[in-house]
Structure 1
Amino acid sequence: MNWHDIFATRMSRMKASEIRELLKLLDQPDIISFAGGIPDPALFPVAAFQEAMTDALSPAKSSSALQYSVSEGYGPLRDWIVDQMASLGVPCTRDNVLITSGSQQALDYLGKLMLSPGDTALVAWPTYMGALGAFNAYEPNYDRLSPGGNRSAEDYAQAAADKGGRVKFAYASVDFANPTGETLNLRQRENILALADELDIAVIEDSAYQSLRYDGEAIPPMLALEIARKGSIEECRTLYCGSFSKTLAPGLRVGWVCGAASVISQLVLMKQAADLHSATLNQIAINTVARNVFEDHTAMLRRTYGARRDAMLAELEKHMPEGVSWNRPEGGMFVWLTLPKHMDGGDLLRASLETQRVAFVPGQAFFADRSGANTLRLAFSLAQDAQIEEGMKRLGEAIRAMM
């Protein structure tokens, strides 16, 4: 039987994640890897989760922890998120929050909710590879989101119409973005909101790295800015996607969407159809751990990851040849490196693995049009100082060998 003859057309848009493939390299002990943008497991609050799980599975509580639950999510956890969102300038209620299986599921649901084949999604150039993977299933076109405000709404609308659809949303990772580590300033955030109002589209605000700021002044989320202008979350078009994956534990797969109740109610229907609800036990454990250690734990992460960022930036200064540039992120897990124009990050990776045993992610994977061949992403969250020092030295040698 030829299965491809009966697969839906959307499958042609779904590709294997280049990062997921690169993560397999972590099993090779001689590889120095800056590929996976993942938390350091040595920093997980294991004791807090052991205690939370034991409590959740006690005779008095296990029947609830192991049972089916409501699709919206565990009530006390949603209450904690309501308080957290309020601290960010987003007053809301339980009705404005849906628990998802990581923020990745939230992106999938939002793509499913809004995209018809041929519609256009506005994304950064480059953007989060997982967002492209989530949206691709719904067969959209992509256009470059310009937060500088130097492109008119009419131009975006016409470009989408020329491709047979309309613009449906702008997707933006606003703080320490994956892959670039860049942060949108206040004016850029306001520009995106103004553009969305003109186009009458949604804004998907991906805030997976919100809590990982190491220096610089915090900037309000776009949802907070919009509420300040419009008075209520129910009047807003921004949908905020949060996650515990970068702060507490990615393996439990707990994230959330916060937005107007009219949108959340539609996402709940999708949740019911897809997996009924996120794992109850995991939500209960996350709620307990978040209430007990979140502030202290994230403060420790900021100190640790911030020091690793500083170490990587210092070693880049020492070892990168002339013609190579990189940014200096204020938080998150990534440094974005630009090679000379004639170089290809994919070719460099192959050479680096063979001769230097250093891994990273070629930047091309993060561009909707597969441009950006002379870029790459370096993740510092999982690397110790000695690995950063040796890895940047070896990477510099690999780059010199190709120049």
Structure 2
Amino acid sequence: MLDWEAIYATRAKRMGASEIRELLKLLDQPDIISFAGGIPDPALFPAADFQKAYSDILGSSEAGQALQYSVSEGYPRLREWIVQRMNARGINADIGNIFITSGSQQALDYLGKLLLSPGDTALVQWPTYLGALQAFNAYEPRYDRLDLSRNTAPEDYANAASEAGSRVKFAYLSADFANPTGECLTPMEREKLLDIADALDIAVIEDAAYRALRYDGERQQTLLAMDCARSGGIENTRTLYCGSFSKTLSPGLRVGWVCAARPVIRRLVLAKQAADLHSPTINQMAVARVAEAGFDAQAEKIIAVYRERRDAMLDSLARHMPDGVSWTRPQGGMFVWVTLPEHIDSAALLKESLKEAKVAFVPGNAFFADGSGKNHLRLSFSCSAPAAIDEGMRRLGALIGSELAAAA
């Protein structure tokens, strides 16, 4: 029998299973209250709108185009709609600055492939999105902690990379409602990030997957819009904006995009030609029609529901969590980040929770590039009704309380 391990590329050792993907299997177990999957509520999908869109497309003269090979850049009508949205956000883009991907996750993979050589440094937050680490890991980088709340000088990042025989290539983060913390960068932190990127002469990958899901607070400028204003236009920017329809219209259709300067878009197109030629044309056509007909109304609908669930989770945490436990208070997105006393390992707590409390969550260490953060956990409120949220927090709070009492 062939020894597969002996012939795998070195990058294969950096590929690990997603803890979140594994936990999603629990959604099918009726006795488990799951706050694990950061997924939208399927009851809120505009299914009737998509049914009409697909029917109209396949019943029209566009059917052949919808079922045929297409250009790697993406369906022009959809790209034009995205251009209008980006322009409204202060980003002077045109269709040549837009590239369609199979979800923003594919964008992260392509950007890792494009920017990272083995040993290069990526700056990421501690914690950061697990899917980004998985996408980048295949290209064998080293990671350094991007902490905009500290006075870390740009040369400190450069020197740390140099001492490891590396160079910094990009900073990756979500400026709005980050996964897993739900937190946003302040305007000052956004400016600081761009200052660091300018000083190091590196790219900035802005993951905007949750930006449309704001429930309260003042909307902030995107990093790309700020970069455009600072640099004089999108062709002079270093920010790569990754957008998605997964959290608003449908994750299953796998439609995302990158908005960036043309030289980067041209390289991304080459990566897609080599990987999968193009994203499914019919899906792009359907998303374009549904977005044109009522994207804002769809966003308002889901925001109202998710705001209620966010409020229910924050209220339940306040009532049921024991002293010594703290959490974030997000203004949008899908997540609350919980910090436990340092001696509690959330991975061990999860095993106990699934057995005793029948509550699922994601252990915090999955979101740290160095595997730290064991006393944190992520809760998602997007798919649970307020009553289920309250019951889940009651059970989880009681379990954590018993852990604390046992350690006292």
How many percent of aligned residue pairs carry the same amino acid?
A: 64
Q: Distance in 2 between matches of 1:44 and 1:229?
A: 38
Residue in 2 aligned with 1:402? 403
Q: Distance in 2 between matches of 1:334 and 1:55?
A: 37
Query: TM-score if structure 2 supplies the norm length?
Result: 0.98
Residue in 1 aligned with 2:133? 132
Is contact 1:148–1:191 with CA below 8 Å preserved after alignment?
A: no
The answer to whether the aligner puts 1:304 opposite 2:305 as a matched pair is yes
Q: Distance in 2 between matches of 1:347 and 1:163?
A: 33
Deviations 1:197-222, CA, capped at 9 Å, x for gaps: 00000000000001000000000000
Pairwise CA distance, 1:374: 0.2
Q: Distance in 1 between matches of 2:155 and 2:343?
A: 35
Pairwise CA distance, 1:244: 0.2
Residue in 1 aligned with 2:221? 220
Q: Which amino acid aligns with 1:397?
A: A
The answer to whether the aligner puts 1:290 opposite 2:291 as a matched pair is yes
Q: Distance in 1 between matches of 2:258 and 2:215?
A: 25
The answer to whether the aligner puts 1:329 opposite 2:330 as a matched pair is yes
Q: Distance in 1 between matches of 2:211 and 2:348?
A: 33
Pairwise CA distance, 1:89: 1.0
Q: Distance in 2 between matches of 1:124 and 1:12?
A: 23
Q: Distance in 2 between matches of 1:181 and 1:42?
A: 23
The answer to whether the aligner puts 1:162 opposite 2:186 as a matched pair is no
Q: Please give the secondary structure, in 2, of the residue aligned with 1:105.
A: helix
Q: Which deviates more, 149-158 or 270-279?
A: 149-158
Cα 1:361–1:262 change in 2 (3 A) is: same
Deviations 1:298-338, CA, capped at 9 Å, x for gaps: 01111110110000000001100000000100000000000
Deviations 1:88-108, CA, capped at 9 Å, x for gaps: 111101110000000000000
Q: Distance in 2 between matches of 1:226 and 1:214?
A: 25
Q: Which amino acid aligns with 2:42?
A: P
Q: Distance in 2 between matches of 1:114 and 1:335?
A: 31
Pairwise CA distance, 1:72: 0.1
Q: Please give the secondary structure, in 1, of the residue aligned with 2:240.
A: strand
Q: Please give the secondary structure, in 1, of the residue aligned with 2:252.
A: helix
Residue in 2 aligned with 1:108? 109
Q: Please give the secondary structure, in 2, of the residue aligned with 1:370.
A: coil
Deviations 1:104-157, CA, capped at 9 Å, x for gaps: 000000000000000000000000000000000000000001223611111101
Point out 4+ residue stretches in structure 1 off by more than 4 angstroms: none
Is contact 1:120–1:167 with CA below 8 Å preserved after alignment?
A: yes
Residue in 1 aligned with 2:76? 75
Q: Which amino acid aligns with 2:75?
A: Y
What aligned pairs does 1:224-235 form with structure 2 within 5 A after superposition?
224-235=225-236
The answer to whether the aligner puts 1:350 opposite 2:351 as a matched pair is yes
Is contact 1:149–1:191 with CA below 8 Å preserved after alignment?
A: no
Q: Distance in 1 between matches of 2:186 and 2:53?
A: 38
Q: Which deviates more, 145-154 or 59-68?
A: 145-154
Pairwise CA distance, 1:59: 4.3
Residue in 1 aligned with 2:381? 380
Q: Distance in 1 between matches of 2:60 and 2:185?
A: 48
Pairwise CA distance, 1:158: 1.0
Q: Which amino acid aligns with 2:143?
A: Y
Unaligned runs of 5+ in 1: none
Q: Distance in 2 between matches of 1:31 and 1:390?
A: 11
Q: Distance in 2 between matches of 1:253 and 1:299?
A: 21
What aligned pairs does 1:240-319 form with structure 2 within 5 A after superposition?
240-319=241-320
Residue in 1 aligned with 2:201? 200
Q: Which amino acid aligns with 2:198?
A: D
Q: Distance in 2 between matches of 1:153 and 1:304?
A: 42
Is contact 1:149–1:192 with CA below 8 Å preserved after alignment?
A: no
Q: What RMSD over aligned residues (CA atoms) do the two structures have, in Å?
A: 0.6
Q: Please give the secondary structure, in 2, of the residue aligned with 1:139.
A: coil
Q: Which amino acid aligns with 1:14?
A: M
* Residue-pair matches, total: 403
Pairwise CA distance, 1:164: 1.5
What aligned pairs does 1:359-378 form with structure 2 within 5 A after superposition?
359-378=360-379
Deviations 1:34-87, CA, capped at 9 Å, x for gaps: 000000000000000000000111141210000000000000000000001011
Is contact 1:234–1:261 with CA below 8 Å preserved after alignment?
A: yes
Pairwise CA distance, 1:236: 0.3
